[in-house]
A and B are shown apart, each in its own frame.
Chain A
Amino acid sequence: MSARTPALPRAGRWVADHVVMTVALLVLVYMFLPIFFVVLMSFNDPVSRLTYEFDAFTWDNWTNPCQSPGMCSSVVTSLQIGFLATLGATLLGTLVAFALVRHRFRGRAGTSLLIFLPMATPEVVMGSSLLALFSSVGLAGRLGFWSILVAHIMFCLSFVVVTVKARLTGLDSTLEQAAMDLYANEWQAFWRVTFPLVFPGILAAALLSFSLSFDDFIVTNFNHGNTITFPMFVWGSAQRGIPPQVNVVGTVMFLIALVLVAGGGLVQRRRAR
């Protein structure tokens, strides 16, 4: 497209093109600076608990991540909650997405509003609302694993609905009709045709739910009782000085995410062929 316009001299265009790319790369550096520091600090041997500088190199944090008391059990709690919340939210949300795309029903506007609102509400409002509800029915003293799970399923649900719905609307429903023309009953058509086609959407929704749940701090903070998830552990130790092992968990999470996203990209590329 550069050959056409003499309006802007070619040199100016070159600069304009590369300015955008340079700015973009600088922004990416800004986005990766903290991750670089997380990886760096995971090899830190701090002189005191309250230091945030790199003092000396060590492998200890990686060889003994559970040295920091309470951290590993908090990671296990987060994994359990993340797994169950993903299961619950993905199941409920997928059903809702199917209803929205494939069925007619009354109250569509209200339903859509109820799905949209949790995504537009700040977490601090959702978290405090739930606490207000739980304590109004006398459960304030019994909050813990279950209340975190209930809350996480709630805020993951809308994201699942939106993600699966996006996949489902892009789907040609004549494929299902074709299957039924070939004497598949409704059940077979669903499991053999529709479900495999929607599955990437469901998988994306599940990954999203898991990362939302595993990483949630604000809603959890209002409803955790005495249960300590990994973000709660980090928050608690931030007051006393961060153990460097926390950065090991951060690095591992980043690596797993990278592998999953890159893996997803590969699958996508293979399918495109």
Chain B
Amino acid sequence: MSAVQTGAVVGGSLGPHTDRVEPRPKGSRTGYLLLLPGMLWLLLFFAVPTIQLLATSLYDPNGSLESGYAMTWHFGTYLDVLSAYRAPFLRSLGYAVSATVLALVFGYPLAYAIAFKAGRWRNLMLVLVIAPFFTSFLVRTLAWKSILADNGFIVSGLQAVHVLGPDGRLLATSVAVVTGLTYNFLPFMVLPIYASLEKIDLRLVEAGKDLYANGVTSFRKITLPLSMPGVVAGTLLTFIPAAGDYINAQLLGTPQQYMIGNVIDNTFLVQLDYPVAAACSVILMAAIVLMVLVYVRRAGTEDLL
């Protein structure tokens, strides 16, 4: 998902920008021909599977993969799933929200520094932000196992200053999972915020200063509102993959930290209980869409204030 932003940054910064060109009313058939293969691919392997997922969640839960499933419009599966997997659902949302807030707290100053303070180091810092996510996600997540290990320097340090008790640990706790999630999706937060900060016309800030705004006021009234599109995009790009992730919970946590992704993975691939797994997937998707809609609407109105 970060990729959109990276792509836009990489692709967009390579040449001079000109205003959007009106699409030429070209022979319409060519347009459809160009669209056809790509759209067919997305239709067949994205849209149709999503509908199949919905259908699978309503199959008769008494069927099995061998005997086949009958379509019985069994909405009861949703109620069963919601009561059986309430904890992992809530944990997913809790972890994803925590990771998103932390990524915003860490990512905004970084984006701000790159946009306004880095000077000639700007490109280098951008490269440093992009570089980690060209490295294997799993290998990097596993590295956190070494970093947060029980006799690693972080745990020993925290024990020395009595933040952690002598037996306290970080690995296999919620802290480790949220640390990993924040780390993994931080670039998705930094890049869109940077992109919108970079576009800000600095004369606006100067105008604010001429009107006796101090640094804090001009940040609050000018820079922050103008960077809101980046903040909204960044939080979405962080929240959505974090809510669906289960790699961090699996590698850095224990079953007590399992998120709904772990449940979906396990019910689909180990228990082979397709209707239950599909219902979990649908609920996750629905919850995300709902939260995103509410959030975008609220962010939109705050933007106007």
Contacts and interface: CB of A to CB of B under 8 A. Distances in A.
A33 interface: yes
B53 A37 contact: no
Given A17-B117, A37-B146, A114-B47, A128 B281 contact: yes
Contacts of B3: 159, 163, 208, 212
A128 B46 contact: no
Interface stretch (B77-85, B224-232, B264-272, B297-305): B264-272
Place the interface of chain A in its size category: 35 or more
Contacts of A250: 135-136, 139-140
A103 B31 contact: yes
Nearest to A158: B42
Nearest to A37: B143
Contact of B10 (A157, A204, A242): A204
B136 A53 contact: no
A189 interface: no
B20 A169 contact: yes
B15 interface: yes
Nearest to A254: B135
A256 B134 CA distance: 9
A249 B142 CA distance: 13
Interface in A153-212: 153-154, 157-159, 161-164, 166-167, 169-173, 197, 200-201, 204-205, 208, 211-212
Contact of A96 (B39, B127, B151, B251): B39
Contacts of B157: none
Contact of A24 (B18, B39, B109, B209): B109
Given A35-B143, A200-B14, A99 B31 contact: yes
Nearest to B239: A122
B241 A136 contact: no
Interface string B19-38: 01101111010111011011
A interface: dominant SS: helix
A158 B8 CA distance: 13
B277 to A, nearest CB: 6
A82 interface: no
Interface in B119-142: 123, 125, 127-142
B131 A257 contact: yes
B164 interface: no
Interface string A21-35: 101110110111111
B113 interface: yes
B146 A163 contact: no
Given A102-B24, A157-B42, A234 B139 contact: yes
B222 interface: no
B38 to A, nearest CB: 4
Nearest to A99: B34
Contacts of A67: none
A109 interface: no
Contact of B53 (A52, A104, A128): A128
B32 A38 contact: no
A129 B281 contact: yes
A115 interface: yes
A32 B277 CA distance: 36
Contact of A222 (B65, B137, B268): B268
Contact of B45 (A154, A246, A258, A261): A154
A231 to B, nearest CB: 5
A45 interface: no
Nearest to A230: B136
Contact of A53 (B47, B130, B152): B152
B117 A133 contact: no
Nearest to B154: A33
B14 A201 contact: yes
B192 interface: no
A166 B12 contact: yes
B7 A159 contact: yes
Interface string A232-273: 001100100010001101100110111011101100100100
A53 B52 contact: no
A132 interface: yes
23 contacts: A1-B206, A20-B117, A28-B110, A28-B128, A31-B183, A35-B140, A37-B143, A52-B145, A102-B24, A102-B26, A111-B35, A114-B42, A114-B47, A122-B284, A131-B268, A133-B48, A158-B42, A163-B11, A170-B15, A205-B11, A250-B135, A261-B134, A268-B14
Interface of B: 1, 3-4, 6-8, 10-18, 20-21, 23-26, 28, 30-32, 34-35, 37-39, 41-43, 45-50, 52-53, 55-56, 65, 106-107, 109-110, 112-114, 117, 123, 125, 127-147, 149, 151-152, 183, 186-187, 205-206, 209-210, 212, 214-215, 236, 240-241, 243-247, 250-251, 261, 264-265, 268-269, 274, 277-278, 281, 284-285, 288, 292
Top 8 A-B residue pairs of the complex, sorted by shortest distance between their CB atoms: A122-B244, A103-B31, A257-B134, A163-B7, A24-B113, A129-B49, A250-B139, A99-B34
